[in-house]
Chain A
Amino acid sequence: MINHAKAAKAFLRNEKRTDWHDQALWFVRQKRDRAVNQLPEWEQLRETASQIKGATLSKLAHHLLEFERQALQNGVYVHWANDAEDFNRCVLKIIRKHNATKVVKSKSMLTEECHLNPFLECEGIEVVDTDLGERIIQFRNEPPSHIVLPAIHLKKEEIGELFHVKLGTEAGASDPTYLTHAACAHLREKFLQAEVAITGVNFAVAETGAVVVCTNEGNADMGVNAAKVQIHCMGIEKVIPRTADLAVFTRMLARSATGQAVTTYTSHYLKPVPGKEMHVIIVDNGRTDILKKPQFLNSLKCIRCGACMNTCPVYRRSGGHSYGSTIPGPIGSILAPGSDLKQYRDLPFASSLCGSCSNVCPVKINIHEQLYSWRQEVSSARLLRTGKSITMSVMAKILSNSSHYQAVGLIARRLLARLPRKMIYNSFNVWGLGRELPEPPASSFNQWYRQNRKNTKL
């Protein structure tokens, strides 16, 4: 089971580094603010985007089948995968069909979710993540800490050290341009050798059968154009009905994600180049289960911009890895419990429910309300920690009875006023670890009122 508080505590041990992490992501949030404020129609766009996604989800099967029909007509191979295992085998089958051993990959959280890399590596296939951040964390053998900025938890000096070991850059060099050039040279080799290129999918357009991939580095294009086989992997929720709908989302994605007006590359893949092969794999992996739950299905509207992470005051101060799920932060905390409630039962509680995530979300997912609802689900499934559950039962009893409540309040205030500090501030008092308790007043408001107002209304 994931324990977010514990992982966050470890992250916070280095306060300066936490401040740096917080500031780096806040900077992205501010860039986003500047970008969206240039569009007076921003809120209307959000509403439109949310409704397009909502309408699509309500007839998802229809749109997916239309997409499949169009893609097949374009000469694309379309595959359906029920779960991660299905998906991984499907990818392997395509690779094996071409006797390939070298694969490049770009822009796919879905392959992270399905743990495609370790699966293919076990089968003797080299998979190289080609996006800079992804490559960095692949070298480090760790998961991404952010869905758009996968290596945001690392400082340039650490990347310099890593590249010195992995790519032979100069020891102590940490100039970002120098390091990026070194990575480019290394990746160019990989692109030239690759037989198969895998990409994620940002949007799949049902009426044309095209898949659209939005990138800043252009690696999806490099991979696809160099290799003889291209595989695009998409979750079932990526489909949108029309090309016209795409215009709404491409205006929002980059602005929300990084504060750019649009991603550097918006690549449309419609059909294979003659002599080459194009595959699309449509993956469920638990998504239809979410679709069945009315209070949570909005989470499938997510376009993976990462804005909720950048704005989340908890995420910024606990780091993406503290969530222990493929997708971290607020959106991850409502997606992960849907896939494995027991494992991720702690995540809906890793939030102060401030609601900034819902406000920033370009497709208006009610993230903080879903966090609240997931808390109820955790409790209903009897997965709350025993201590918490008992405490709440006792509190509910006390607060249902006015005289019990007043008596407990009085005793608490008196004890707080009279007990020696050592007895109040100890390891049992979690509040007191970093904060003082309020100074107890002599009387409660209730007592004051009884003494000071005569015409009491009951």
Chain B
Amino acid sequence: MNHFKVTIGLFIPCYIDQFYPQVGIATLELLEKLGLDVGYPLLQTCCGQPMANSGCEKKAVKVYQKFVKNFSSFDYVVSPSGSCVYHVREHYNILEQTEQVKKVRQSTFELCEFLLDILKVDDLQIHFPHKVGIHQSCHGLRGLKIGTGSELVTKKQSKIHSLLAKAEGLEIVELDREDECCGFGGIFSIFHPDVSVKMGKDRVADHERHWAEYITATDMSCLMHLEGIIRRQNRPVKVKHIAEILNTARR
């Protein structure tokens, strides 16, 4: 595939845009390092998931339409968020399925997925000499199937593990519960705060039991929730989005 001929629309979800610009920057830099033509539509806002998960998908239609309009001119849309990508792919079914809508839904990819399935990168030459715990964000794992859920009896694969397998100095720690939900769940974190926080605490404890220095994930939303708990409880473990680790790749 000739990377220079395709155009990539960079989709930076609202909460990453506002609170974690470094994740957006890492994603952009990484894609640029790979020689891709990356555009960032300045008028983008959100995929509309917060409304839809609250039961108000009809109220989100305008936001959906805005997303489609912003990204329909690109060959691929790439985002450092499995959850938002899953939402575009799965839940934009309530829009009239015009060619534009269909194209955007089919061409929107989560970053790791894009790197492996479309670009077919092999060794990014990542340098990250730390013990890392991988948090398998649910929508990426079970929705986009960027890994095999522990419930299934099929051949195990994990795109994050594949991408980090050859990373220099990086040690992936084993967890007691390899893919339990962190408890963020979007509006769940607000309307069910007690269970949400307890789930997060238990996840952090699992990573700490196995001496992870960093928790990484495809979704900053999970990490925002876990980081909130880590900081409240003054825990030593840190969070880092997968894009930031991948961006340690040499040119």
CB-CB contacts of A18-45 with B at 8 A, as 1s and 0s?
1000100010000001001101101100
A168 within 8 A of B: no
Of residues 182 through 196 on chain B, the ones whose CB sits less than 8 Å from some CB of chain A are 183-196
**CB-defined contacts of A395 to chain B, threshold 8 Å:** 50-51
Of residues 6 through 26 on chain B, the ones whose CB sits less than 8 Å from some CB of chain A are 12, 14, 16-25
B195 touches A402 (CB 8 A): no
B183 touches A352 (CB 8 A): yes
A359 within 8 A of B: yes
A37 to B148, CA, bound (A): 14
B46 within 8 A of A: yes
A209 to B31, CA, bound (A): 64
A197 within 8 A of B: no
Q: Max chain A CB contacts within 10 Å: which of B41, B45, B227, B231? A: B45
**CB-defined contacts of B152 to chain A, threshold 8 Å:** 43, 359
Which one, B59-67, B111-119, B208-216, is touching chain A?
A: B59-67
B40 touches A375 (CB 8 A): no
B183 touches A433 (CB 8 A): no
A396 within 8 A of B: yes
A393 within 8 A of B: yes
Q: Max chain B CB contacts within 10 Å: which of A360, A396, A434, A445? A: A445
A318 within 8 A of B: yes
With CB as the reference atom, state the residue of chain A lying closest to B48: A399
A412 within 8 A of B: yes
Given A356-B149, A436-B228, A446-B17: A405 touches B56 (CB 8 Å cut-off): no
B170 within 8 A of A: no
With CB as the reference atom, state the residue of chain A lying closest to B61: A396
Interface of B is mostly: helix
**CB-defined contacts of A272 to chain B, threshold 8 Å:** none
B192 touches A349 (CB 8 A): yes
Given A352-B138, A444-B18: A430 touches B40 (CB 8 Å cut-off): no
A443 within 8 A of B: yes
A453 touches B181 (CB 8 A): no
CB-CB contacts of A388-410 with B at 8 A, as 1s and 0s?
11011101100111100100010
B199 within 8 A of A: yes
A438 within 8 A of B: yes
B40 touches A434 (CB 8 A): no
CB-CB contacts of B29-54 with A at 8 A, as 1s and 0s?
00000000001111111101011111
A396 touches B21 (CB 8 A): no
**CB-defined contacts of B200 to chain A, threshold 8 Å:** 434-435
B62 touches A405 (CB 8 A): no
Q: Which of B21, B25, B195 contacts A12 (CB 8 A)?
A: B195
Question: Could you tell me the distance in whole angstroms from the C-beta of A320 to the nearest C-beta in chain B?
Answer: 14
Q: Which of B23, B40, B179, B191 contacts A453 (CB 8 A)?
A: B40
A431 touches B21 (CB 8 A): no
A12 to B183, CA, bound (A): 14
A354 touches B142 (CB 8 A): yes
A242 to B91, CA, bound (A): 38
B150 within 8 A of A: yes
With CB as the reference atom, state the residue of chain B lying closest to A307: B151
A435 touches B66 (CB 8 A): no
A441 touches B50 (CB 8 A): no
A355 within 8 A of B: yes
A313 touches B42 (CB 8 A): no
Number of chain A residues whose Cβ lies closer than 8 Å to a Cβ of chain B: 78
A431 touches B39 (CB 8 A): no
B129 within 8 A of A: no
B43 touches A402 (CB 8 A): yes
Question: Could you tell me the distance in whole angstroms from the C-beta of B47 to the nearest C-beta in chain A?
Answer: 9
Q: Max chain B CB contacts within 10 Å: which of A22, A348, A377? A: A22
**CB-defined contacts of B21 to chain A, threshold 8 Å:** 441, 443-445, 447-448
B24 touches A8 (CB 8 A): no
**CB-defined contacts of B19 to chain A, threshold 8 Å:** 413, 438, 440-441
Given A392-B51, A435-B225: A457 touches B191 (CB 8 Å cut-off): no
B188 touches A353 (CB 8 A): yes
**CB-defined contacts of B174 to chain A, threshold 8 Å:** none
A18 to B202, CA, bound (A): 11
A15 within 8 A of B: yes
A178 within 8 A of B: no
With CB as the reference atom, state the residue of chain B lying closest to A378: B55
A57 to B186, CA, bound (A): 34
Point out residues on A near B: beta carbons under 8 Å: 4-5, 8-9, 12, 15, 18, 22, 26, 33, 36-37, 39-40, 42-43, 311, 313-314, 317-318, 348-356, 358-360, 372, 375-380, 384, 388-389, 391-393, 395-396, 399-402, 405, 409, 412-413, 430-431, 433-438, 440-441, 443-450, 453, 456-458
Point out residues on B near A: beta carbons under 8 Å: 12, 14, 16-25, 28, 39-46, 48, 50-60, 62-63, 66, 91, 138-139, 142-143, 149-154, 177, 179-181, 183-200, 202, 224-225, 227-229, 231-232
16 cross-chain CB contacts under 8 A: A349-B55, A351-B185, A354-B181, A359-B149, A359-B151, A375-B53, A379-B56, A379-B58, A384-B54, A393-B56, A399-B46, A399-B66, A409-B17, A431-B193, A448-B21, A458-B42
> A12-B195, A351-B188, A402-B42 are known contacts; what are 13 more A-B pairs with Cβ within 8 Å?
A5-B195, A349-B55, A359-B151, A392-B54, A399-B46, A400-B62, A431-B193, A433-B197, A438-B20, A441-B20, A445-B25, A456-B39, A456-B40
